[in-house]
Structure 1
Amino acid sequence: MASVSWAEALFPVPMQRVAVVVPRTAERDALVCLAEAGCVDLDRTGALGSPGQTPSYPDRRAAAELAATAPAPGALEQAGRADLVAGEKEVAARLGEAVRRRDIAALAGWCPRAEVAPLGARLAEFGGALVPMAAPRGIDPPTALRRTGPVRGACSSLVTTYGTPPYPDLDPSWGAAVLYAAMFGMMFGDVGHGALLVLTAFGLAVWRPRRLAAWHGVWPLVAAAGVSSIVAGLAYGEFFGPTGVLPVLWLAPLHAPVRLLLSAVAVGAVLLLLAYVAGMVNRWRERGLSGALYSLSGIAGGGVFLGLAGVAAGAVGHLGWLVAVGAAATVTGTALAAVGLYAGTDRGVSGLFQTGVQLFDGVVRILSNVVSFARLAAFGLTHAALGAVVWAGVTGLARHGPAGLLGAVALFAVGNALVFTLEALVAGVQALRLEYFELFSRVFEGQGRPFRPWRLPVRRSEVVP
């Protein structure tokens, strides 16, 4: 696949509406070509003017295969080749959706633009063509996030677990992975535990244990979370707890909890601002200037958020001018949001009431979302407290002779294993929650349709009767 620029990497894979046009005598050969290429999302119907939907056939892809050449009728059943029989049923279902005019058959679908020319050249071998068409008005193409390489694939999986972004929206895969790792590290700040996470990622990537097969693909996220935890552990001076092995470069969580709490809220405010910026871009690309201007996840909501932040900062710093500017921004953003919300109601008194309720809910959500990031400090404090408890027990046992020393070693190993397991689970879930509910809820307003190309393995190594 051709390399893409950084600007192109910010968005999903560009899609092209296409028609697969072939002679009726080469229908099956063309479908075998499509199945092997695996880059065309075929419509449910063969109507070239409508985009259709992904076919709702029984999912036989795990077992179905296609023979490169057409088998004789009944030969596959007699040979007991259930996989090839399933593949022929898939082909028959697809052929049943084709539009036929005289000696020509056609199917419509979506194809990545970079694949149009190569696939068209392959279809030309059968006398066919891949014809680009204009996208139907009001219909978005399916969304395919870039998955080149294991790192990009893991980042994209973090987004698709939440949902499929609409086609016009940004592809936040890289940003989502970086923010997830950073938030995880703040809650799991310990150099020793972070190093264990990096070793776990190495094991998933290199040794690939069968019992953890479902987790093999997430090793880049595990490694990033481990590195982030090591950085936070250096800042906290934590190495398997407050062992004193490392100096405190920034603050000790248990000695400065208020400072850590305020820092977490400040980090959350910055992340929310970034989410509003991404939301503004998405609303602009989805609905133009009006969509970006009047949306609570666009300019209007961002204005309310910045205004409230300015009022709070001005009140704390006793800066009257900042309070005034923040209040003006809050009022302006609220007015813009009210216009957008009222336009989506039935108007009249009921519309005004609905708008007021939605505005109140939007402002409350902004305040609660900022405070929600305090959990970055809360769970960081919990991690540090559990580590301190284990270390206090270890040092207490170590003073009671050889038997106490053995007990201290056992407590250190078992205690850290428990803390590592519990806190890794908690930090992983909480970082995911913050990303999905606090950030993605502003970046995305709707769901897109995932790109699901028709793909089947083609068997060419044997002759089928």
Structure 2
Amino acid sequence: MTWSVERLLPVRMRRVALVAPSAEIRDALVRIADAGCVELDRFEGGDVVRSAAASRGLPSDTGAGAVLAPATPDLDALRQERREDLLAGEAQLTAFDRSAIRRGEVAALAGWCPVTDVPGLAERLAAVGASLVVLPAPSGVEPPTLLRGSRGTAHSFAPLVTTYGTVPYRDVDPSWPSGVVFVVMFGVMFGDAGYGMLLLLLSLALRRGAPSFLARYRRLWPFLAGAGTATTLAGIAYGEFFGPTGVLPVLWLDPLASPERLLTASIVFGGLLLGLAHVAGTVNRWREGGPVRAVYATSGCAGFAVYASLALVVTGLYLDQRAYTLAGAALAPVGLLLAGAGLLAATPGGAAGVGETAVRLFEVVVRAGTNTVSFARLAAFGLTHALLAHLIWQETTGLARQGPVPLAAAVALFGVATAAAFALEALIAGVQALRLEFYELFSRVFEDQGRPFRPWHVPLADSEVTT
């Protein structure tokens, strides 16, 4: 695979086995835990952890805050010192130690590791006489999913995707495209260069970890930066700078003067996004189930043909271009037949299956239209912002003309009203962009759910430990 293709996929995983002499298994597990890049196989539930912990008098609560001692510690001394963090780490290590397969003097544990981390981890394990063996991937078992940029980097849009669900390992990684689409839609609805600059300043502050109570959200600064950039550019296009203040000329259109153009542009933009979502869905269906699934799925070629036919017909009627209308009419039966065959294959068959297929096929057609029209909300909320900003500016200028004292009141009114509008509209634009991303786009890109990559990570203690 080329580098560009790899960037479109989740991180490649390798099935690996930790193999070590039984006497050195603890040292090997400590290095695995400290590296934090291996998801070791474990039994579901906490029974193994609890039983292993109880056998050594360790706590069963092994959650956040656990650390490991480099060498085997004195458990009695840890209890006396009330080192709950070290005791919790020992409980986790004991659980994996008990889960290891032993043959004579050798112990082994299997798991998953990102392919890029295998060489470095193997070198670390070799220092204690252990090995990391690459195994063939087990048949019928899908590796866990780790999206690129989701391992603590500050420039990732991965949280947008993981909030919706876990991407199947075979599917494309939509983190960057979905992030770009999200901020563009946000900017269209919130278009104001002044507001955009405020968002850029907030993103800079968040990236620097200020204010301190927002430090936990530092990783989300790319959303603010992207939204601020898109909002600023949309404001420049609309001629809005904290409203119609006259600071910027109108480069594209005034939303209040040309609502029809904004509405048409929003729907066309939504149609293009839905078409791209169908393309991504087709790729995913192919990777999940081969060409047959890609061709007949309503989120694959069949659904794309239905959607493209409707788009061509509507475009032809709108532009009075008969060629587009005829092309759409010719493509529609192909898409409907393919989608109907795929839907029918998923039913028990018979009259009931035919009836169910007809209903679901009707739903596919209706949904194609309603999902496209749903993008009109981009224009609707853009108009709402423009109207509210216009009212604030109109009241401010009207009050300012009445004298020095009213001028001071006008400045206060403008500041308070703008701050309230900024907070309310930012929340609404964010929610609406998220809704369009999830319900209109992701529902076509994804059909299945994957399993998230959960590496075992317990850091080494940074203080002296009784051994």
Which interval holds the TM-score relative to the shorter structure?
over 0.9
Distance in 2 (CA, whole Å) between partners of 1:376 and 1:297 is 24
Provide Cα deviations, 1:330-382, integer angstroms capped at 9, x if missing partner.
Answer: 21111111111111111111111111111111111111110000000000000
Shift of 1:59: 6.7
Provide Cα deviations, 1:268-327, integer angstroms capped at 9, x if missing partner.
Answer: 001111111111111111111011101111111111110000011111222222212101
Select 1:270's aligned residue among 272, 275, 278: 272
Distance in 2 (CA, whole Å) between partners of 1:59 and 1:282 is 40
Identify the residue that residue 330 of structure 1 maps to in structure 2: 332
Identify the residue that residue 12 of structure 1 maps to in structure 2: 10
Distance in 2 (CA, whole Å) between partners of 1:151 and 1:78 is 40
Shift of 1:5: 2.6
Shift of 1:249: 0.6
Contact 1:44-1:55 within 8 A present in 2 as well: no
Identify the residue that residue 19 of structure 2 maps to in structure 1: 21
Provide Cα deviations, 1:60-90, integer angstroms capped at 9, x if missing partner.
Answer: 3422111000013422112221111111111
Contact 2:190-2:382 within 8 A present in 1 as well: yes
SS at match of 2:129: coil
The letter of the residue matching 1:126 is V
Identify the residue that residue 283 of structure 2 maps to in structure 1: 281
Identify the residue that residue 252 of structure 2 maps to in structure 1: 250
Q: Structure 1: any 5+ residue segments left out of the alignment?
A: 46-51
Distance in 2 (CA, whole Å) between partners of 1:300 and 1:370 is 17
Identify the residue that residue 49 of structure 1 maps to in structure 2: none
Contact 1:44-1:54 within 8 A present in 2 as well: no
Select 2:320's aligned residue among 307, 315, 318: 318
The letter of the residue matching 1:433 is R
Select 2:73's aligned residue among 71, 74, 77: 71
The letter of the residue matching 1:117 is P
Distance in 2 (CA, whole Å) between partners of 1:362 and 1:134 is 41
SS at match of 1:70: coil
Given the superposition, is the C-alpha separation of residues 429 and 56 from structure 1 closer, same or farther in structure 2, using an over 3 Å criterion?
farther
Distance in 2 (CA, whole Å) between partners of 1:460 and 1:88 is 15
Shift of 1:455: 0.5
Distance in 1 (CA, whole Å) between partners of 2:34 and 2:6 is 27
Identify the residue that residue 224 of structure 2 maps to in structure 1: 222
The letter of the residue matching 1:363 is V
Distance in 2 (CA, whole Å) between partners of 1:300 and 1:168 is 21
Compute the RMSD of aligned alpha carbons.
1.8
Contact 2:155-2:219 within 8 A present in 1 as well: no
Shift of 1:247: 0.9
Question: For structure 1, which segment, 305-314 or 116-125, has the greater mean C-alpha deviation from structure 2 after superposition?
Answer: 116-125
Give the TM-score normalised by structure 1. 0.94
Q: Structure 2: any 5+ residue segments left out of the alignment?
A: 50-59
2:155 is equivalent to residue 152 of structure 1: yes
Question: For structure 1, which segment, 114-123 or 410-419, has the greater mean C-alpha deviation from structure 2 after superposition?
Answer: 114-123
Give the TM-score normalised by structure 2. 0.94
SS at match of 1:161: helix
Contact 2:62-2:91 within 8 A present in 1 as well: no
Contact 2:36-2:457 within 8 A present in 1 as well: yes
The letter of the residue matching 1:14 is R
Percent identical:
53
Select 2:171's aligned residue among 165, 169, 175: 169
Identify the residue that residue 404 of structure 2 maps to in structure 1: 402
Contact 1:41-1:454 within 8 A present in 2 as well: yes
Identify the residue that residue 31 of structure 1 maps to in structure 2: 29
Distance in 1 (CA, whole Å) between partners of 2:305 and 2:231 is 33
Given the superposition, is the C-alpha separation of residues 195 and 73 from structure 1 closer, same or farther in structure 2, using an over 3 Å criterion?
closer
Shift of 1:462: 1.6
SS at match of 1:132: strand
